[in-house]
Chains A and B, each alone.
Chain A
Amino acid sequence: AQTVTQSQPEMSVQEAETVTLSCTYDTSESNYYLFWYKQPPSRQMILVIRQEAYKQQNATENRFSVNFQKAAKSFSLKISDSQLGDTAMYFCAFLNNAGNMLTFGGGTRLMVKP
């Protein structure tokens, strides 16, 4: 079974600064998929970014980028130029190769301060 660990329950950052959220996972699979989801107070689960394990290049989506270290089983999310609207819970998630089992970390609550 896969496990996903987010070691930072809460973080805060000043508006316009950069913040990095940590995520580690454990698996015996060689190919899989990793995601970051954002959950604002509206409780909607919003996909932020996706990474395929066989791709060495780190994924980027505008202000969001990841640092994927496959050997270390690490998948951190960097948010640049933080905005007030980035305030939310962020969940790291692991999807197995078969694509039928998505396992979530415990989440990191991010607050962006003005």
Chain B
Amino acid sequence: DAGVIQSPRHEVTEMGQEVTLRCKPISGHDYLFWYRQTMMRGLELLIYFNNNVPIDDSGMPEDRFSAKMPNASFSTLKIQPSEPRDSAVYFCASTGLRGSPLHFGNGTRLTVT
């Protein structure tokens, strides 16, 4: 099993540009989560999907953030327009059976200048 795959690993962009982060969950996992990690706020849940349907997006900071899961093997997190305060590491994670630990991707480090 290749694990959760995220791309890109690093992203540097200018303020105002659109940013798209990508995630491929582990095959068979029906829950997918997007987390953001910053020094100030630690690890925050942004949104999670169950069977490709967004269930809770209360952690999405603003309308500039959107997430989609068009199929069971792919999800995107988009920021448009990006701002310097969006700079963070964004993690995707997936899990299957209830009570099983979340498996994390290696994260995308986003820098907005």
Contact = CB atoms under 8 A, between A and B. Distances in A.
Interface string B22-63: 000000000101000000001101001010000110000000
A64 interface: no
B95 interface: yes
Nearest to B55: A100
Contacts, number: 50
Interface stretch (A11-19, A43-51, A75-83): A43-51
B55 A35 contact: no
Interface string B63-88: 00000000000000000000000000
Task: Count chain B CB atoms within 10 A of each CB in A44, A97, A105 and give the residue with the most.
Answer: A44
Interface residues of A, number: 23
Interface in A21-59: 33, 35, 37, 42-45, 47, 50, 52
Given A33-B99, A98-B98, A107-B42, A45 B104 contact: yes
Nearest to A98: B98
A44 B105 CA distance: 7
Interface string A81-114: 0000000000100010111111111110000000
Interface of B: 31, 33, 42-43, 45, 48, 50, 55-56, 89, 91, 93, 95, 97-104, 106-107, 109
User: Lowest 5 A-B CB distances belong to which pairs?
Assistant: A99-B98, A45-B104, A104-B43, A47-B101, A33-B99
